[in-house]
Chain A
Amino acid sequence: AQSVTQPDIHITVSEGASLELRCNYSYGATPYLFWYVQSPGQGLQLLLKYFSGDTLVQGIKGFEAEFKRSQSSFNLRKPSVHWSDAAEYFCAVMNSGYSTLTFGKGTMLLVSP
């Protein structure tokens, strides 16, 4: 069965500093990978997704993620964090034969002044 691990429950980053959120997946074939963001009391907003092709994908709000098959990873990055980026971030994988998402437990990003 597919699974997603986000090893960091909380991360605190200074405003303006770079950010990397880790995501590792377990899936036999090439996965479809997603990053979602959830602000307090809000729904899940898609940041970016990877299906195939270029392993570096660009998303909204200045985020990018790199698919590394050898490491089974899909880490999310942003070069300069803004206070409005404080939220919970979820990595998810989709089985290419189905349409359901399996989520990680999420990483809460705190941004310090």
Chain B
Amino acid sequence: EIVLTQSPATLSLSPGERATLSCRASQTVSSYLAWYQQKPGQAPRLLIYDTSNRVTDIPARFSGSGSGTDFTLTISSLEPEDFAVYYCHQRYTGYTFGPGTKVDIK
């Protein structure tokens, strides 16, 4: 099973700051990686798929990059509604999620 590791576990930032979230796979997932956002009491929302493709209606401040085993989700300037938990997800071999990164307000 491919294990996804996310870092940091918690990211404390202020609105307007840049957020950089990391996801590392235990073996290559090629470009088959996605990012989800989840707010308390809500279902997850798909933000980015196939490493860098933004879903329709997702703001341009969200971007994804990487390949193979190392991936990054960047939020260029945090808005108040961006404080949430972010999960990476691979479907290259089986399907697994990372443990999540919580982005909270500093």
Chains A and B are bound partners = no
